[in-house]
Structure 1
């Protein structure tokens, strides 16, 4: 009787979370790379959720490292699920499972035989951006250009969710702790615990504020309506975090209530004291032009009004432009130094020919500029 009752409970949860819809889709498509795991499989893989297997905590659940079907995975045991979304859960898993982007953690499967569904993700072994930028040793190893590449890849991933996923997906909890890095600092955006599909009518808007303090969009806090611009605001905080290596909420600030990094950043910009906030590892005059471009971009992302913020696609493109321009400038500088060295070792005839060529080349550039 106990076994029968347990089986009925499992079936109830399975149906409640839209399991039959998922099963139907999996059976109808051989290419559908998604698995529905049983409760027993998950418990065995995590050794009954043994505490030593915990690799992370979050506002939406606990993440365990596990070995499932001879593959190392990350299993997220969620805390709660919105009851109004129970019936949509299977449908949303269907959409999330089909996300395919090099900078987004792949959702491999789920378990629906439990009160709150559990999610199975690919395992990324080398920690989070939060760990690297707030660890003294970690931050010192990440150059400015590597930080910008991490920011760009993260922005590309979010832009994919907003513009390429169908329907669009809003992440809802963008923060440095949800940006995983592999040994080459390649980004994998993770944790869709707060994600929602883009609402198609007013009834589908989120009515409960979710997310992490310090990263939350002020407009979202007031309206309870998560939008793509909410992710843009949170990403702006991450940009500031990357540049400063400071915590997003400082509980050691006077008053003890915690001062937000975003407000400190905007105040520093207003008072022209932004250099005082920058991480000392990247705070040098040679890179200041590049840093100030990123600072201006972060300021736009942190606008109090969502309509005034750029889209994630705009942000990704701007970061790409900044990186390419900086690489080009450095390449030009390197080529100039290399050429000067070669000239110093060359014969007088070759030197005269080179400078004559440079003079002609400059005249051509000026003519083109005037023509434009």
Structure 2
């Protein structure tokens, strides 16, 4: 044990650290693996993305997660087994990626694992006054550490909640350290299963930076496609949505919900935005006649509309630029609707020097770097953004 603690101290004091960041989002499409090298901490952080890969989950594995993820009830035995299984499987995928890159595991200092979100329940969702915000990610990190031989950090969101946050979104910490600009107001928009963004006022501005979930990104579209079009897990290139027409009645019903009246920042998940939400909206507007393609077009407009509405509400007349990341950026219709709604050309985080598909995995590597080597808190605590280090440490032996 003493040897591992001394090793951890040596990593903390080293001039550079090699950290693997892992992310599996609510879309359940696979594991993002980012091999990063860090120099410095806080606003002096320099991050280099050495390599990146997304390894898709098998259909059988994805189906097993879907049986319990975001459901109001789950079989405890299945949940318990999956916690260990996801940890083991994650370790196997990390070792597979390292083999593909011909990069020795012995040269990796830390693995930073987000885990698989099973349920996200802020107080605005569970409505229990006496209970705190809550979230659950599984994929036990001890299994990752033991099977890879690499010190592993995990379960980042619990510290955020313990310190008064909602456990999400955590992108603020990475976005603000890496992408704050002296003169340009920026919105770092990430469109995964759920859409979120970080508002980064120019460094010389008196405005406050923060991150917030917006609403659905891909999640409702992906859920609907998987039910209506067997064999498909998402609408490739928006082919289905482009063949349909937006139903304005349904769109209005989807956009009218108490969630969108909550103050920013706010958090949510597929527990809230799902096919039940769609069914309720259809009933609310009298079940208009819509083809599956019309529903897909309307769901796409819904995701775009919530993003446009929230950004416009925040920015008013302030000039800003939008940098997009996440799977939703590959949906051309969603991209077009957002761009037209904001009357603005959208940029990719490629223009900021970071692969947009790798961005969230890099974020968790950065959180691990701060936890292990941060000299002091880089942030002042504010509502929704507690100034804490995050990540639980699992040692290989």
Q: Same fold (TM over 0.5)?
A: no
Give the number of the structure whose residues are more often helix, by fraction: 1
Larger Rg: 1
The structure whose residues are more often strand, as a share, is 2
TM-score range, shorter chain: under 0.3
Q: What TM-score comes out, normalization by structure 1 length? A: 0.27
